Amino acid sequence: MSTNTFPFGQEIAWQPNAEWIAQSNLQRFMDLHGIESYDALLTRSVADIGWFWDAVMKDLDIRFAQPYSQIVDLSAGAPFARWCVDGQMNIVHNCLDKWQSTPTAAEPALIWEGEEGRRATLSYAELNRAVCRCANALRSLGIGPGDAVGLYMPMIPELAVAFLAVIKVGGIVLPLFSGYGRSAIISRLNDADAKAVFTANGFLRRGRTVAMKATLDRALADVHSVRHVVVCERLPAGSDASRIDWNQQRDHWWHELIPQQSSQAETEPTPAETPLMIIYTSGTTGLPKGALHTHCGFPVKAAQDMRHAMDLKPGERMYWMTDMGWMMGPWLVFGTLLNGATMFFFDGVGDFPEVDRVWELCARHSITHLGLSPMLVRSLMPHGSDPVKRHDLSALRAVGSTGSPWGPASWRWVFENVLESRKPILNYTGGTEISGGILAGNFFKPLKPAGFGGPIPGMDADVVDDAGNPVRGQVGDLIIRQPWIGMTRGFWGDNERYLETYWNRFDGLWVHGDFCAIDEDGIWYILGRSDDTIKVAGKRLGPTEVETLVNRHPDVTESAAVAVPTSLEDNDIVVFAVLRPGIVASESLRTALQDTISLELGRPLRPKEVRFCAALPKTRNAKVMRRLIRAAYLGEDPGDTSALEDPSTLLAIQKAA
């Protein structure tokens, strides 16, 4: 690979601020343990994982009804590490109960705004009372320890209440993407043998009403384990989605069942490794994978990432643009509450009704940490910086990102226009099975456009070649050498698939499935999923390298590059590009894009085709689904499409010319 192409050979854009470091959570942690530098912390955190995660428990003040006798037990092998052995702890005690006799009880736990402008705030005390009422309602319906409960709701306060209440009674939450259709709901509820579902009559999206209860009803015709459905009235009476069918034996209105319950409820005692959540990820083939998480796993990792990598402090406000069906939704709830901070929920999209909506929200609610997708940024860039500059973003300390890789241009746009070229972009990557991040930007390490500062403390990450040997300065596979506390406890009912997915390629190593590179200055980069690998003429590269070059062109909004097979047992590159409004596709533009890639990456990597399309298929959190693009181009079965936000985008790929 030429060293003058992305990601190599870039200049450092941001340097750490010594004052911010001195005031950080992580510096305090390092001082407490006599650790002299960030690099020394990283080394110690993986040299002795037992010491590190025990220290994290104490740093987060995770309280146990019965202390653990051993922080980690590896006797069954790394894939099946057991944590907090013999410990007893329900994480809701640490999220809510323990704060009730402290000043934090009066502080905001959750701030919400809806697309239409409705707003609400719940203090830690108010959220606790609401969760207790909901827990009592669940118990009155016979829902208790070990029962799985689906959450098929928009991002409204009741969603956080239901989420925590299920866990409080010892149940297992099944977060479902609010845009799922019938088949996706059926497969997940049946797989987990769900006993109940929380839903809403519908929600608003870009001014239109979207039905939810009706979609759920169609699914439940083929789900026979669900005994109860609790319906929140998100849309007012009279709207299209508010007119719903009703099953008197099964359905309950939230406002009739829950508010009259007692505001005090016992938090169910649970062993620390009791399952609390099954969160499903989509696969290329077969059924979705149900990642299993426990009380002392996912929540602790989420909170540690916020505390150590993102420096979230008590009282600060985190807004991550997500849905509860993606892991960043549960991550947002657990991480903020365990840190005594505030979660912000927005039930809408960041560019509606105006393109400045996300910046308006940040200013109005004094957001300190904003998480967004680079894909959203690329859609906002054509509107210029004026929509940003109209709002006071002085409270914002950092921008985080996940979902899809940055390109240098979009990274710099946020860095310069949103962060005044002086605050960091906390690029963040991991996954549902990780319970948060493997790599992240941080306040201690320099940053380059689209890069990561490195592994988060406690994550023994590396980049290796096809033989499993460490590599630097070239693209390889992202792997993890040792277990961490947030690691999924396997796939629900299918541990063989779990082992095959992550552990069987290299003995004792977790292979994450991302292409990664580490440059000459120790900056890390994610270059796309390894199953999106582009291999042409013996060369291997991530799709982001191609897309970054295409997206530089002033006429292009966004793009996706995929590898397609040739008749010579090799591959060609095909690029799909979305043009800016008003730009007409032309052969000269097509040739210019092909020439740019050929010049920058080498003639063998010149795309076979550049096709222009109206949209790219994405998930709700704006991750481009390249495997669907490849399947549509080749006329193949697309497999699982449940994560797709807008099915019409597949037609846009088929119509691309």
Q: How is 123-152 classified by DSSP, letter by letter?
A: EHHHHHHHHHHHHHHHHHTT--TT-EEEEE
Please determine, for residue 509, whether its predicted confidence score (pLDDT) is greater than 90: yes
- Range in 51-55, 87-91, 581-585 the model is least confident about: 581-585
Q: How far apart are the first and last CA of the chain?
A: 30
- Identify whether 542 is part of a domain: yes
601: confidence class by pLDDT, cuts 50, 70, 90: confident
pLDDT at 530: 66
For 30-44, what is the mean pLDDT? Answer: 98
For the chain, how many structural domains are there in total? 1
Please determine, for residue 304, whether its predicted confidence score (pLDDT) is greater than 90: yes
Buried b (16+ CB within 10 A) or exposed e, 133-155: bbbbbbbebebeeebbbbbbbbb
Please determine, for residue 4, whether its predicted confidence score (pLDDT) is greater than 50: no
Tokens 């549902």 belong to: 432
Please determine, for residue 5, whether its predicted confidence score (pLDDT) is greater than 70: no
Q: 77-117: per-residue pLDDT in tens?
A: 999 999 999 999 999 999 999 999 999 999 999 999 999 99
Cβ atoms of 377 and 359 closer than 8 Å? no
650: confidence class by pLDDT, cuts 50, 70, 90: confident
Tokens 């509860």 belong to: 324
pLDDT at 533: 65
DSSP structure class, residue 482: S
Question: CA torsion angle for 635, 638, 641, 644 (degrees, to 10)?
Answer: -50
pLDDT at 652: 83
Distance CA 146, CA 172 (A): 6
532: confidence class by pLDDT, cuts 50, 70, 90: low
pLDDT at 286: 54
Nearest to 526 by CA among 534, 518, 516, 540: 516
Distances (CA, A) of 3 to 138, 474, 519, 600: 59, 9, 9, 10
pLDDT at 294: 98
For 628-635, what is the mean pLDDT? Answer: 86
Strands 556-565 vs 539-541: parallel, antiparallel or unpaired: unpaired
* Most confidently modeled range among 123-132, 185-194, 512-521: 123-132
634 residue type, one letter: L
* Most confidently modeled range among 151-155, 235-239, 347-351: 151-155
pLDDT at 475: 86
- Identify whether 357 is part of a domain: no
Nearest to 189 by CA among 145, 157, 138, 147: 147
Please determine, for residue 484, whether its predicted confidence score (pLDDT) is greater than 50: yes
Please determine, for residue 240, whether its predicted confidence score (pLDDT) is greater than 70: no
Number of neighbours of residue 564 by Cβ within 10 angstroms: 15
SS3 per residue for 574-632: EEEEEECCCCCCCHHHHHHHHHHHHHHHCHHHCCCEEEECCCCCEECCCCECHHHHHHH
Q: 459-470: per-residue pLDDT in tens?
A: 999 999 989 999
51 residue type, one letter: W
For 339-358, what is the mean pLDDT? Answer: 96
- Identify whether 41 is part of a domain: no
Distance CA 269, CA 62 (A): 15
Distance CA 429, CA 421 (A): 22
Quick one: what percent of the chain has pLDDT higher than 70?
94
Nearest to 490 by CA among 482, 481, 506, 501: 501
- Identify whether 406 is part of a domain: no
For residue 301, give both structure tokens: 């990792």
Distance CA 533, CA 493 (A): 30
pLDDT at 224: 95
2: confidence class by pLDDT, cuts 50, 70, 90: very low
pLDDT at 3: 38
- Identify whether 107 is part of a domain: no
- Domain of 604 in residue numbering reads as 533-654
For residue 154, say if its preceding peptide bond is cis, omega within 30 degrees of 0.
Answer: no
Q: 109-163: per-residue pLDDT in tens?
A: 999 999 999 999 999 999 999 999 999 999 999 999 999 999 999 999 999 999 9
pLDDT at 605: 81
* Most confidently modeled range among 3-12, 401-410, 520-529: 520-529
CA-atom Rg of the chain in angstroms: 24
Q: Please provide the size of the chain in residues.
A: 657
Nearest to 52 by CA among 36, 75, 72: 72
344 residue type, one letter: F
Distance CA 131, CA 262 (A): 10
For 331-335, what is the mean pLDDT? Answer: 98
- Identify whether 440 is part of a domain: no
Q: How far is CA 540 from the centre of its chain?
A: 27
Give me the chain's average pLDDT, please.
Answer: 92
284: confidence class by pLDDT, cuts 50, 70, 90: very low
Q: 386-433: per-residue pLDDT in tens?
A: 999 999 999 999 999 987 778 888 999 999 999 999 999 999 999 999
Q: Using alpha carbons only, what angle is made at residue 304 by residues 299 and 308, rounded to the nearest 5 degrees?
A: 160
Nearest to 525 by CA among 511, 539, 542: 542
CATH number (domain holding residue 552)? 3.30.300.30
- Identify whether 543 is part of a domain: yes
Question: CA torsion angle for 496, 497, 503, 504 (degrees, to 10)?
Answer: 80
164: confidence class by pLDDT, cuts 50, 70, 90: very high
Q: Where are the beta strands (DSSP E) in 179-298?
A: 196-200, 202-205, 208-211, 228-232, 251-253, 275-281, 289-294
- Identify whether 310 is part of a domain: no
Please determine, for residue 272, whether its predicted confidence score (pLDDT) is greater than 70: yes
Task: Check residues 287 and 375 and name the one with the higher pLDDT.
Answer: 375
Nearest to 624 by CA among 530, 560, 545, 547: 560
571: confidence class by pLDDT, cuts 50, 70, 90: confident
Distance CA 405, CA 517 (A): 13
